[in-house]
Structures are given as C-alpha cells and as structure tokens.
Structure 1
Amino acid sequence: MTPGSGPLPATPPRNPASRLEEARLLSSQVNRHGDAVACYAALLEEEPGLTDAWLELGNLLKRTKQYDLALSCFRHVMGMAPDLAEPHLRCAEIHEDRGQLAEARRAYGQALERSRDFGSAVQAATLLPVIPAGGDEIEAARADILRNLQGIDPAQWSAGNPLHHGRVFFYLAYHGYNDRQFQERLAALYLQAYPDLAWVAPHCATRRARAGDGRVRIAFVSRFFHNHTIAKLNRGLIEHLSRRHFEVHVFHLGPRDWMSDLIERSADHFTCCTGDLATLRGTIASWAPDVVYYTDIGMEPLTYFLAFARLAPFQCATWGHPVTTGIPAVDCFISHELCEMGSPREQYTERLFCLGRDRALAYYYRPMLPIMNKGRADFRLPADGHVYACPQSIYKIHPEFDAIVAGILAGDPKGHIVFIQGSIPEHEHLLRQRLARLIPDQDERIIFVPRMGEEDYLNLIAVSDVLLDPIHFGGGNSSAEAFAVGVPIVTLPSPYLRGRLTYAWYRRMGFMDCVADSPREYVSIAVRLGTDEAYRAFARDMICRLGPRIFEDMGVIRETETFLLKMVEERAGEPLPGQMQTRLRES
C-alpha cells in the first residue's frame, strides 16, 4: 500500500431498481440470457416481493422455452397478486405452445376473468393445435376460430397494447387451406380495436417531391436480418438492387450478428431499431421512404402490427411467410408465377405480382458448404439401410403426410424416416403418438435426431439418401441448401405458394424426376431413390449439374426493380426521372 493510502471504500449496495434495470439490459442481449436469469434470481433472493421481477423472469424463461421454470414464476405471481391477469395469460400461452389446449383454454378463461383486454380475448378465441391429431381437428379448429372471430365485438373490450397480447396466425398457414378470410377478419378486428395502427407518415399524407437525390428510397424491414432464413433469402436483393435507381435502407428490428454485418455492408443505410410501435414508425418514416418492403409479415407480432401503418406510398410483402397478410396498408404481395394457381383474388387481399416462370425464386447466394466429415454414426443413425430425412420443423408435418411415411416404410423394409426434434419436447411426443396410430410397431424406424447447428444440419443432409419435402408447407431456403449439397428431394406441389417452393426450384433447374403428382407417386419416387443406388446417383448428378441455375439469378433483381419503379411511378401520379424512364422503356 502506498504512503497515505487507506483501505478502498466499500462499493455501495445498489438499489433494487438499478439491479432490475441491469437484468432487463442483459435479457435484451441475445447471448446474455443465462446472465440475465442469474441476475433476476439474485435480486429476487434478496427482494422476493418484486412482482415485476418475477413476471419478467418468467417471461424470459418462457422466451427461452424453459417452460417448467417459467410456469413456476407465473404461479408464484398468482399467489402474490391474485387479481393480476398477466400470469394466467402467460401460462395459457405456454400450454398452447405445448399443445395442451384444454389447459390453455382454462388459463385464458382465468385471465379474461381478471382483464377485459381485447388482445387476450383474440388469443383465447383463436386457439390452434400446433401438432394436430388429424384432419378432423384441423377443420374443427378452423371452424371454431372463424365463428369466434365473427362473434368478437372490440367495443366490449379494452384496447391494451397489441404487441403484448396480439395474435398472428402463424400456424394457420400449415393447414393446407386458403387463409384469406381469416387474415382479413383478424386485421379488420385489430383496426377496430386499435385505430391508431393505421397511422400515416407525414410524407405520405400529402403529395410532395420525393426526398433525397431523386433515387427511389426503399426500406427493407424485418426482425430477422441476422443468421436466419429471411436474411439468406433477401440479402442478394438488398445488395444488388441498382444504386443508380434505388437508395437502400435496412431497418433491422432484431438481434445483431455476423449476418447482420454482411447485410449492413450490402445496404446504403442500416439501422438497428428498438422501441414500441410509435417509436419504430417514427424511425422509419423519418427517412421518407418511397417503398417499404416487408420480408416476412406474419412470423411475429412486431412487423405484423407495424405493417398497418402507411410508412411509404407503396408497401409490399413477400413470401418469408408465404400467405396473404390481410392488412389494408400492404399494397402488394410479391410471389412467383410457378407458385400461384387459381384466382389471386381468392387468396390475397393484396395486389399480386409474380416473378416470371423462367426466374429463380429469389437471388439466393450459393451456400458455402462446410467440410462434410461426419458419418451416420455421428447422428446415431443406422449404418445399414436407407435414410429418408425430413429435416424440417415438425409443425410442418401435416396429418396427410403420415400416410406417405407409412407408405415409404412399407415399400422399403430397410428404410428409416428421420425428423429433427422440435424446440418443444411435447411436439415430438404428439407427432409420435399420431404416427403410431397409423404405423404401429415401427417406432424404431422413425428417428428424431437432436436439434443442431448449421454445419451439422448440412452434414445430416449429406449422409441422407433422400430428403422428403412436407406436403402443404414445404421447404424454401432449406431446399436450396439441400440442392447445394446435391441430395434429391421428393416433393408434391400443393395448390398454394407455401407448398410449391421446392417444385419451383426444380422447374428452374429443368429437372422434374423427383416431383410427384399424387401421394402414391410421392412414395414410389422416394422408395426408388432410396433403394435404387444407380437411380439415386443419377438424380444426385443431375442436381449437381443443374443446381447452379437456382443460385444468384440477376434476372430476379432486374424484374423486381422494374416492378418497383412502375409502382412508385403509379403512386406518384407523375413520370419518374429520365434515367428511370429509360430503364422502364428498356424493360
């Protein structure tokens, strides 16, 4: 100790409010959730009466799918504050996520006894089975929901905050039906209950000269501009839009990582946004965009409710979530000619624009493949026999797909079906139960491998003989990745966009041998690929030779540019500047 120095002063104890703020800050950071849980736990050990801290800890545990611990927190709050609705509501959401619909209904009812919140009423009225027991349950649930939506009167409920309790119909799209009337009715109810959702940006309220240097200002908006399917599907468009004609601003509403850095370098401007709806609307509107391009409306509440506002004269959505939004402020849905059948007016509330049938689905960068140094044993798969992998989220497995699984197992006695475990264990249990009713005594031939990182996922594809595309809602990004590996995918295109993406990739390649036109043919193609080594080698060779056609297609960029320029001109009611007119004439 140096002369004149004394003992260091003790660190003053921090008050509960500052410690709670620290826990909140940690919980908002993607890689600090464990630290946040520890921070909340330490605080509550000393201050067990902090209701808000118990609720926030429960919500964090719920978000990270530690459901049993989350339920304990919420039940503790019920004892502390019996009249509070939120813990009952959060328990209901957990039960719903787990597929425990009876428990969810009961908990929603208890929440509504304590609160007249409109968003909670919508949640209670629109319960869906994540893993349906069969087609009858799907049809009954859809009928109940439509009846309930028609019976809700927003005037009888308090508005609350739609972000806290609002429902988006994410799982509805997996049923294989036309969802327009559901989406349209839900959006209309939200506008009745929350009229402020239809906020109009100042630059849209009156016709005025466009801001900036005359280029079209386009804002890309998503929570998923990190290492996620949405980023992979849209990074090429963001990077390659002509900077002569477009100024590109990416508004990222989620966590940041290395993929976010790549996208930032691809854009003219990149803003990570946080805050409530009013803050986010103001942030985007302050740039005065001509176009707002939503990549995935319907996957989560934030961009869904943001899209009700008029933030640009022209607003569009695309197939990150491949179903109509039902939202009046979304002017256009961008799809692909090969993915649309029947009348667009029957399926979409938006105007439909389709990329041409000769184009790829998206400007998709060819994946950089890792070293494939793992074998089947590394995934605990049998060394002998044939592996038919369906490496998709298991909520995509429609009840009608069960018969296809049964047919493959019957047609190939040495075959094994491989799924990837879901993030919620109950989903695997429900799917196993359903499959066992149709395929008894075959449990050892249906394998669920643990969830894995991206490199292992691609390696799993590589050690599989055949990939199985789920019916009604198939692969998009995952199919492109599998084609990069060179593994054949059997697909049966459905009537709707979400079930036609793998088919469209194949059409772009010009190789249609693995596309079935019936469930019976699906089984036949799969079994032939699995059991006939020479035919499988032929299919792999064709995919390796023709697969490059689906990647990095500049035609996608040019067609999208031309369409967007036309829409901006149409909305402005006056011609675009000279160089853009030249571009439109050339197109």
Structure 2
Amino acid sequence: MYDTDTSTINRSEASSNLFNTKGVIHKGLLDFPKSLLAFDLAEELDDTGRNFNAFYNRANCLHYSFKHPVGAEAVEAFLSSPSRRNFVGDMESQFLQAAVADYEKADLIIRSVGDPDYDYASFSNDYAICLRKLRDSQGAIEVLLRAVAHSPDNLFTRGNLVIALKDARNLAEAAEHSRVAIELDPANAQIRHNYGLVLQEMGESGREQWEAALELDKDIYHSLSSIGHDEGNRGNLTGAVAMYSAALDVVRRIGATEEIGSLQIQIATACIPPIYESTAHITKTRESYIVNLSRLLDQEASSENEIYDPLTSTGSGSLGYYIIYQGKDDVEVRRLLAKVYWKHSPSLVVPPPPQMLLPPLPLPPDRAKIHVGFHSAFFFRHSVGLLMEGVISNIDRERYHVTVFIQTPEDLLKDDVYMRITAGADVVVELPGNLEEARELISSYNLDLLVYGEVGMDTMGYYLPFSRLAKRTALFWGHALSSGIANHDGRVATGLDAEQVGGVDYFVTSTMFEAEGERARSPQDRYSETIYMMDGLTTHFMPPMAPRPNVDLAYFGLPTDHSNNIYLCPQTLYKLHPDFDALIVNILKMDPNGIVVFPVAVKVEWTESLMDRMLGGEAGEFRDRIIFVRRLDFNEFIALAKLANVVLDPFPVGGGRSSLEIFSTGTPIVMPYHRTNILQLTFGMYKTMRILDLVCYNDEDYVKTAVAVGTNRDMEQRIRSAILTQNHLLYQSPKVIEEWNEFIHYAVSNPRPVSNGYFSLAVKDSHLDHNHKSIELSGGATLAYAVKLNHDNPVTGQSHGIMVHIAIGEDPLEYARQLAESIGAEPVKFRWIATLLQRGVKRLERGIIDSVMLVVKGKEVLVGVRWGDDLALVASFAGIRHGLNDEGISWLREVLEMRVPQHVEASWIRSRRELDALIVGDGVDGVDGEDGEDGGKYTHGQEGCFLTVAITTCKRLPLFIKTVDSFLSSLGGVESASRSICAFLVVDDSSSEQDRLEMQSRYPSFNFYWKSEDEKGHAKSMNIILNLVKTRYLMYLEDDWQFLVPPSSGPTRLITEPMTVLSTTSCAQVLLNDQSSRFCAYASPISSCLDSGNVGKAGWNRGEYVEHEFGTVHPLHEFTYWPGFSLNPGIWDLRRLRRGLEGVGERFVFDHEDERFEQSFSVKCLNGGLDFAHLPRINVRHIGTEVSSYVLNGLERDWD
C-alpha cells in the first residue's frame, strides 16, 4: 500500500535531492510504493524545477516496475499517487504515459542546461524505449538523434538508433548510422550484425557483416541464424539447418532461453526448397515438414518452447511459402503451421479493445460511413498492388471510408501504383516494423472490416491476423491460398472466447476461379476462412502498361530466325513443377523449330537448380532450344510476351497478374486446368472473355494445344484477334466494384462467421414455416430422412402430397417398393422414388465435407454436406426437419451451392450411384481406345466418316421432309455432311407407296428400309437400326424435329460438340437439346428455356455439356424423373450402350411388347451404370405435337 506515514520519511529533511536519494534506495530494495512516494516528494520540494535526477528516476521507476515480479504493489501505489494525473488506457499504458511525462521534463532540464553533466546516453535510451512501448516510434527516433548529436561517439545510443530507424523503415538512415558505428568500433560484433539486418531489409546481402560478427564473437547466435536464413533462401537447406542448430547450441549454452522457440521452428521448417528436384523430392520434403511441425505442436507450452518474438522465428520456411508449389491441397498444412504459433506464441493474441466487440451496424453516432481498411506490404508495382489498386480507389465512398495500411513505405517503393493507391484512400497509414506497434496502430482505427491483400508472403502480414484488429476481416487472393489462421484453432489453443481471438473471417474468391471436376471436392474445404464467392474476377485491374517500344527478339538475346516458334514461360522459376519438364520436352519433340524461353530467377542458385533438374534429364538433348533471358523491367516483360507465339502457363501455380498483362498483348496462353491446384485464375479470365480453346484438361492436350498454336500462324492470329477483341472485359469492370460494395456490406451486416467454428447463418422469420410440426417417430427411433412427394393419382388425376419419413435402420428400397405399390406408381416412378430415398438415407454413411450452422429461432442447427450430396435434397430435408418454408429451403440451397459449387460436376453427381442398390453396373470407361469392327473411337479432327444418321418415319411425309431438309441445311448440304457421316438410314413404317417414292426421289443418297406389316411399331424400327448400323456412333432422329442451327455453326454444334463429349467422357449418349425441362427438351416454346449454367467441359474444342441426373429434387431440374437415355435427337455411342447393358446381363434391344419400351430401356441403362449428357443449349425444335405416329399407325397408347 502507499505509505502516508511521514515518520518513515522525515519531512524535516526538506531537500529534494535527499528524497530523490531515498527513492533510489527504496527502488533498489524493490519497495516500489515507498520509492514512488519519495520521488513524488522530491518533485514537490523542488522549488527550482531543475532536479533532473528526481524526474529521471521516477520515470524509470514507473517504466520498469509495472512488469516486475513485485510490480503489483507499484500499481496500488500508483493509483493513489499524484504522478497518476489523468492518463488513459490500460494500467500499463498509464504507467508508461506517466513515465514519458517525467522523461520529457527531465529532457527539458537537460536541454535548458546546454552541456549537462549527466549520463545523457543512458537517459535517452530509457526514454526512447518507453516511447517505443507507447508506439511512438518517431518520438523515440527524435530522442535518439538528439542523444547521438550530443554524444556522437556513444555506440550504445547509436546502435539503438539503428534499430529504431530499421523498425521504422528508414533504412537509408539506418545504414548510414551503422557505417559510422563500425568506423567508431570495427570490433563490435553486435553493430555488424545489425548492419547486416539493415542491408537485408534494403534488398542487399548482409552475409559479409554476419560472418564478420561471428569472427569477432562466436556466440552471437543472431548472426548464425541470419546466415541460416541466407543459406535456406539460396536453396541450401542442409546448410540452413546446420546454422540454426549451431545457434540453438549457443543459446542453450549461454542461457538465452527466450530464443529456443524461434530456433526450433526455424529448424523444423527448413525443409521446403524453392526448387524441387523431383516429385519424389516433393513427397519427402512435405512429409518432413508435416512431421516436424507436428512434433512442435506436440510439445508442451512452456517458457522454453515459447516463441517470444514471432518476427525472429521466420527462417527458411517458417511461413510455408513454397508449400503452394507442390501441387497439393494445402489448407491443413497451413493450419498446422498456424496451430504451432497459436500454441507456442501467445504474444500473437492481444485481446481487442471493447469497441471492437460491438457489431459494425448500426453505425455509432460519430460515424457516417462503414470504415474499411486494406493492408499489404506490397502496395506498389507488385502483383498485390496492381490487383488491388482499382478496388481501393473505386469502392463506394458514399458508403465506405477507406484506410490503407502500408507495411513497406520506404521511398524506393513509392512508385506510380503506390501513388494511385494512396491517392485513392481516405487515410494512409505507414506501419512501423514492430509487430506490437503495428498491431496497436491498426486496432486504434476501430475498423469495421480489414482486408488483407495477402497472408503468407510477408512476415508482418502473416502475424497480424492472429489478433483481432477489426470487427471483420477478409483475405484477398494475393497469395492465392488460405492463410490457415483459423479462429477456431485459436480458441482451442488459447482457451479464449471467439470474440477475443483473431483469425481471418472471409476469403474473397470467385465462381470463375474455383476448381471444377473430380479434383474439386468443396471449395470451402480448401480454406480455413469462410469463402465468399463473387461472380466476377474480383480485381478492378487497370489496363496494363504498354510494351517497351522498338524492341525485337534480338533485344532479349533470342534467335531472330522467323522459322522459330517462341514458347514463353514468363513465371518465377519456383512455380515450375518437376512434371512440367516432361511437357517442355514433348513440346520440343513435336516442334523442331520450337524455342522455350524462361526468365532467370532472382537468385542465381535457383536458376542453376532448375537448369540442373531440367537439363540433367531428357530435356538435356534440347539444351540449345531452352533459353533463359535476363530479368526484365515491367514494360520489357510485356514486350517479350507480345513477341512470343504462345505463352505456357505452368503448374501447379500459373499466372494471375501476369496473365492479365499478357492478355493485353493478345498473346495466347495455354492453360493446364487439370494441374492447377490453387485458384483457376487464367481459366477465369478466359471464361470471362468467353474463349476456352486453350484451356487443357490433360498433359497430352496441353502439349498438342501449345504446338498447334505455336506452329500455326493462322490459328495464332485468330486467337490473338479473339483475345484482343474480348480482353476489355478483364479490365476495370464495374461489376467487380459492385460486388466488392456488396461484399463489404455483407461482411459487416452478418455475424462474424467464427462463433461455432462453422459458417453460421441466422434464418429470417420470412423463411420459416409457422405451421411447422415436428416429425415424431414411435419407439424412440431416430429420423434418417424425410421428404414430401407430390403424386398424381393415375385413376382420378388429382394431385396430393405424401410425407415420407424413414428411421435409421429402415430399408429405403423396401420402403420405396411398398410406397409405389400403395399409390399405383408406374415402374419409372418407383425407380425415381427408390433413387431418392436411398440417397436420403445412405448419404449418412459418408463423411461430412462442409457444414453450415443455422440459427433457427435462437436454436443452433448444424446442416452437414456430405460427399456427392444432392444439395437440394439436403436443403429440403433440413427445411422439413427444422421448419423452413419453400423460400427458406431455396435460400438454404443457394447458400450450400455457393459453398460447394462442384455439386454440379459429373464426378460429384456420378458418385451418388454408389448409394443406389439397383445400379448393378459400373458403366464403361470414358477413355476406351481400342478399335474394333464398329469403327473405333472418335478423335477430334480425324479424316473420314465415323457416324451413321438414322431416321424413323411413319406416314408423316411433310414432317419428315422438314426434319431432313433443316438438318442438311444446318450441316451445309449432303456433300459437306458426308465428311463425318458415313451413311443416312431411313426406316419407314407404313408410309404410302407414293410417299416412299417421294422420299427416294428427294434423297437419292439415303438408304431406305421399308418395313413390312409384321415389323410395325417404333420399338421394332429401333431394333432394325441397331442391326443395320455398322459405325460405332449413331445419330438418331424421329421425323418431327426442325433444326435451328445455321450452316456457319451447324457442324460444330450438331456433330463436333457432342462427339467431343463422347470422346472425352464416359457418356454413352449426348442429346442435342438442353434437357433441364420438357420445354427445353422440345424447344417449345424456346423462350421458356435459358442456357443451363451447370456445365462441364470436355475435349479439344471445350465442348460444354450437362450430365443428366435422375432422382434429384432440385426445382430447376424438371426432367429429373427421366432415367437418362432418350430417343430425343442425339448421338449414341453404340459400343458403350452394348457393353453397359451386357455387363449387367441385359440385351441391347428394345422390347416391342412393352408400350413404355423407351422408359424401360432407359431404366435398364440407368441400372447398368451408364452416363448420359445433353448440350446446354437449344439446337432443334419438336414439331410433331399435332399428330402422333402411333395413332397414324394404329398403335395408339393410353396417353396418346
């Protein structure tokens, strides 16, 4: 307690100096309350106001006592002391403010004396340290500059000035003061070490200074670890580990235990090189990285294992930067690294101030706008700066106030991009190099949303998100992968409430960028953040600078022979996966005039490593045609890209910003979709331009496409022209700004998506069914699945609803049989019900890949998405179970679709067949390549015919003529059609002799089969066709379709596109019309059907297709009741149909005794595991609705 008993301090000894001395004695005895009282009295009794020592000593007492083991007593004394005054903030901050007030008074005394006989150096250092603790870096620098001016030979003060200048990013001044210090004392190891750090920050090598420091002092462990960093950056990881281990030995020997944690993580992560030797090398290094981090995570959190200063822990791989270039799914590895920091570096988590815990909306009275911050160390002519400048400058200033936080503001980086970014912001904040100060400064702005331009490329930028520095946070794709810094992991590690812990809330991406196909699982699976998917490119990219004028290939040291074909791969060399080497070899093999060009790396060692790997293998025989050019300025880079014939996008990480720049020149980029494991950036740009010719889906396709463009100038110019015509869509898109405005509002309007460790959404009252009744099962049974089915009574025609609910343990197939029997359902409807119920129940056997937490009337409900789920089924079941109305179910389905967009992909849909016990076949392989008597497999561009067109007709000559004439017209005539079509076969059923003569006269090149009376019937016609056709591929048409495609695109849309799908997928039939509804299938009316959005892409010319799905409940899939195979216009793969059916013991024939033979045949194909697709557009219109051929033929069915 504060001692007010003046008997312990004799007031009669009324001397300021005496009380100052007493205060020093009490401070030495660690009696801080009496020490503070004595210093207070010394100030009170100082009539001259010049007792420097009293002010200085009290400042030091306040400064250093707070964190002393017995500092609690000092706090109590301070609360009662006059020295407290009216300081604000937390208790430590008040102590420091009081100390600064006394330091300032003492400083004024010294400066007024002129030439004081005091230890000005020690005083200045204490004063500067205190200022830096209060985040006043500039004030600390000013104090130290005065001290250096006063005592220029004092190395201690000058050394502290160097550190302060370095942390404040005043690197040129820091370097100059370092050189002066070395001149004063060449044998000072610490000064040389710090000078090396300054040089490193300036982009120069500090190696010479660190080696000199070690010669002077073998125990200067900081220099050992700095050399370790340098070795690791060169690619010598063995050398790096050796240096880190030596440093660890030193710190343990000399007792510097506060350094152990940092060195341990440096050793653990020094196994990820910039250039990999082989795929086996990738596997080995990845395993080492994971094992090493797991061991650290397994260690107990202790003072010895603690990482006290995270900024000193980043060695050769601590941020895991090069992990992304291994071509794997990295989110869990990224989380593993972050978990180590969450556990062993508690200083990373600073509880937020109270105002940070308030919701962003409604805005407080003192704010008219939502406050948004953008942070990066790369807000200059760097990928992040170029990608973000347009967004920062153009988001809605009527709604949003923008603050830009710049991590590296030194003058050499203040280029035109920097100037535009800073001019476009409302406030610009240049952050210090000290983590605590930077964190405190950002937090003081009380941001509603903070957007990180990247996390993982810059040291400070990686550690900031561990603390909550804004009410909401988001990550832009500057580094193109998840941060791994998850709020949930922070809560587990710290035991703190979610609102007290950092972590990145959202990852901003696009539907254009997220992977499709078999590789994709859930996009959300690849992020520790909650993904927010825009529809556009997410970057309001400025038009790139013009290429440097008047340069040619010779300017870059490249051969100028016009017969050469230039394949440019302008990416950083560490982006080149070892498997990429083989593609380069194959390109050079296929093109003897090809030259592949790479830029050299930043470090010569990286270039040498890549050359050793590439040229040491099969590529060695082409070493004269693999050329490395010098590093280029920005406009030189664009000029070289313009000169290239084709640009090769590497994998697993291709171009982002560079692709936007290359497309400004029109140069084609060949893009390996199948190998890109991060955001599909170049693909998204091509998709935006609606040019998909150069998007490749396998290695062979990549090589052939590159060579096709590189060797064919007409093709190259055609694609260049298309790119130059469309590339305006890539730059300064207003849609991007609209989407950012929407995202900002979304982020601040919704709860932080971390409170449950899941994506959490509150269900609106308008989405609730207020008449909802819970489903109660008898006997304590647990509900597995429930669905409401609508059924038209076959007798009365009336529609009624049936609520189906199945308990866990019930057989969904048997339930479907009993239900179908009770309602008199036809076979295909039974099959649909059986499919639906099996999916609803058996999905529970699969693992959850994503979850959404719904808050329904205050109650939390977890909705899980499992691999292969029909998201409409998931949403409808959740709605039935938890009381959502139709609008609410649609809303939930849309949320799930946003989070799991690959639910529309063929691999996802196809996986559901595993849940269907009635599907007993495995279909057929989509890449069967052997030839046979049926003509073999189609290949794009092959010469010669491969297709038979078969048409059935019956007493409808006018319709038949309209069908054939429109078809031939779309193909450009019989002669043009014959390039692909081997034969036209017409099977006629009961037409008159006159009509038959008319057919033969009109189409003399056609083959006609006139059916006898015994062969009457559609099913028999189909079997005749199957017996007569000799080609593998069949296009089947009935005589009541009108083709709508003009000759300019007819061959592509009617033959090339469906054949591309058949030849590159496992589909057995591709229908020519969109089949998402009966209106689309029949194109009646056309306006009722829009192009489907859920399309896959296949093969050389990127033919788009939709794989048909049977048994879904999605409201937009109205034709889902049809099993798949159809007699609507399309192309069949007869080999696959035959093999698929025979594989399950079925004959490849149509049952002529079954009036529903098409349905029955389609169900057989479904059970055989065969796949069916349709094109996502309208090519033909059904024109035979007036008169049924069955009626004309005397074979009327119940529904005709």
Task: Return the alpha-carbon distance in structure 2 between the equivalents of residues 118 and 407 of structure 1.
Answer: 48
Matches within 5 A, 1:99-114: 99-114=235-250
| Cα 1:37–1:200 shift into 2, 3 Å | closer
Question: What are the Cα deviations for residues 465-511 of structure 1, in whole angstroms up to 9, with x where unaligned?
Answer: 11111111001000000001111111112476635111110000001
Is 1:180 aligned to residue 331 of structure 2? yes
| Corresponding residue of 2:597 | 418
Is 1:224 aligned to residue 373 of structure 2? no
When structure 1 is superposed on structure 2, of 182-191 and 204-213 the one drifting more is: 204-213
Matches within 5 A, 1:203-242: 203-206=355-358, 210-211=363-364, 212-242=366-396
Shift of 1:413: 1.2
When structure 1 is superposed on structure 2, of 367-376 and 524-533 the one drifting more is: 367-376
Shift of 1:544: 0.4
Task: Return the alpha-carbon distance in structure 1 between the equivalents of residues 200 and 444 of structure 2.
Answer: 35
| Corresponding residue of 1:408 | 587
Task: Return the alpha-carbon distance in structure 2 between the equivalents of residues 25 and 373 of structure 1.
Answer: 47
| Corresponding residue of 1:304 | 462
Task: Return the alpha-carbon distance in structure 2 between the equivalents of residues 464 and 32 of structure 1.
Answer: 40
| Cα 1:446–1:316 shift into 2, 3 Å | same
Is 1:257 aligned to residue 418 of structure 2? no
| Corresponding residue of 1:525 | 705
| Corresponding residue of 1:98 | 234
| Cα 1:50–1:383 shift into 2, 3 Å | same
Matches within 5 A, 1:345-384: 345-356=524-535, 359-384=536-561
Secondary structure class of the residue paired with 1:219: strand
Question: What are the Cα deviations for residues 95-134 of structure 1, in whole angstroms up to 9, with x where unaligned?
Answer: 1111112212211211221234212211211121110101
Residue type matched to 2:414 in 1? D
Q: Contact (CA 8 Å) 2:372, 2:402: kept in 1 or not?
A: yes
Shift of 1:213: 2.5
Shift of 1:567: 2.1
Q: Contact (CA 8 Å) 2:580, 2:650: kept in 1 or not?
A: yes
Matches within 5 A, 1:111-260: 111-115=247-251, 116-127=259-270, 128-152=272-296, 153=299, 154-155=301-302, 156-166=304-314, 167-202=318-353, 203-206=355-358, 210-211=363-364, 212-255=366-409, 256-258=413-415, 259-260=417-418
**Once superposed, what is the RMSD of the aligned Cα atoms?**
2.4
Residue type matched to 2:534 in 1? L
Secondary structure class of the residue paired with 2:595: strand
Shift of 1:449: 0.9
Shift of 1:82: 1.9
| Cα 1:180–1:511 shift into 2, 3 Å | same
| Cα 1:207–1:508 shift into 2, 3 Å | closer
Question: What are the Cα deviations for residues 311-342 of structure 1, in whole angstroms up to 9, with x where unaligned?
Answer: 11211101001111111221111111122232
| Cα 1:494–1:29 shift into 2, 3 Å | farther
Task: Return the alpha-carbon distance in structure 2 between the equivalents of residues 421 and 311 of structure 1.
Answer: 39
Q: Which runs of 4+ in 1 moved over 6 A?
A: 21-32
Shift of 1:13: 9.0
* Number of aligned residue pairs: 559
| Corresponding residue of 1:8 | none
Task: Return the alpha-carbon distance in structure 1 between the equivalents of residues 642 and 178 of structure 2.
Answer: 43
Q: Contact (CA 8 Å) 1:471, 1:499: kept in 2 or not?
A: no
Task: Return the alpha-carbon distance in structure 1 between the equivalents of residues 471 and 176 of structure 2.
Answer: 47
Residue type matched to 2:231 in 1? H
Secondary structure class of the residue paired with 2:456: coil
Residue type matched to 1:175 in 2? Q
Q: Contact (CA 8 Å) 2:357, 2:471: kept in 1 or not?
A: no
Secondary structure class of the residue paired with 1:249: strand
Secondary structure class of the residue paired with 1:571: coil
Q: Say which of 412, 428, 444 aligns to 1:286.
A: 444
Shift of 1:286: 1.4
Question: What are the Cα deviations for residues 396-441 of structure 1, in whole angstroms up to 9, with x where unaligned?
Answer: 1111111111111111111111111111100000000100123123
Shift of 1:80: 2.1
Residue type matched to 1:365 in 2? M
Q: Contact (CA 8 Å) 1:361, 1:504: kept in 2 or not?
A: no
Shift of 1:29: 9.4
Task: Return the alpha-carbon distance in structure 2 between the equivalents of residues 514 and 249 of structure 1.
Answer: 40
Residue type matched to 2:285 in 1? A
Residue type matched to 2:577 in 1? H
Residue type matched to 2:653 in 1? F
Task: Return the alpha-carbon distance in structure 2 between the equivalents of residues 31 and 421 of structure 1.
Answer: 30
Residue type matched to 1:320 in 2? G
Secondary structure class of the residue paired with 2:230: helix
Secondary structure class of the residue paired with 1:117: helix
Task: Return the alpha-carbon distance in structure 1 between the equivalents of residues 724 and 352 of structure 2.
Answer: 49
Shift of 1:214: 3.3
Task: Return the alpha-carbon distance in structure 2 between the equivalents of residues 50 and 291 of structure 1.
Answer: 46
Shift of 1:196: 2.7
Shift of 1:76: 2.2
Q: Contact (CA 8 Å) 1:494, 1:500: kept in 2 or not?
A: no
| Cα 1:12–1:315 shift into 2, 3 Å | closer
| Cα 1:499–1:347 shift into 2, 3 Å | closer
| Cα 1:19–1:477 shift into 2, 3 Å | same
Q: Contact (CA 8 Å) 2:171, 2:198: kept in 1 or not?
A: no
Task: Return the alpha-carbon distance in structure 1 between the equivalents of residues 321 and 676 of structure 2.
Answer: 16
Q: Contact (CA 8 Å) 1:472, 1:494: kept in 2 or not?
A: no
Shift of 1:242: 0.9
Shift of 1:457: 1.4
Secondary structure class of the residue paired with 2:566: strand
Task: Return the alpha-carbon distance in structure 2 between the equivalents of residues 112 and 313 of structure 1.
Answer: 39
Question: What are the Cα deviations for residues 273-304 of structure 1, in whole angstroms up to 9, with x where unaligned?
Answer: 21412211221111111001111111111011
Q: Contact (CA 8 Å) 1:361, 1:505: kept in 2 or not?
A: no
Q: Contact (CA 8 Å) 1:135, 1:399: kept in 2 or not?
A: yes
Secondary structure class of the residue paired with 2:653: coil
Task: Return the alpha-carbon distance in structure 2 between the equivalents of residues 445 and 28 of structure 1.
Answer: 47
| Corresponding residue of 2:890 | none
Matches within 5 A, 1:507-522: 507-522=687-702
Task: Return the alpha-carbon distance in structure 2 between the equivalents of residues 402 and 31 of structure 1.
Answer: 43
Shift of 1:160: 2.5
Q: Say which of 176, 197, 219 aligns to 1:59.
A: 197
Residue type matched to 1:160 in 2? Y
| Corresponding residue of 2:636 | 456
Task: Return the alpha-carbon distance in structure 2 between the equivalents of residues 252 and 561 of structure 1.
Answer: 22
Task: Return the alpha-carbon distance in structure 2 between the equivalents of residues 280 and 176 of structure 1.
Answer: 34
Shift of 1:163: 0.9
| Corresponding residue of 2:39 | none
Question: What are the Cα deviations for residues 27-68 of structure 1, in whole angstroms up to 9, with x where unaligned?
Answer: 6898976x866764564244212222211232244445655x
| Corresponding residue of 2:1089 | none
Highest RCO, 1 vs 2 (Cα 8 Å, sep ≥ 6): 1
Matches within 5 A, 1:469-484: 469-484=649-664
Shift of 1:360: 2.6
Bigger radius of gyration: 2
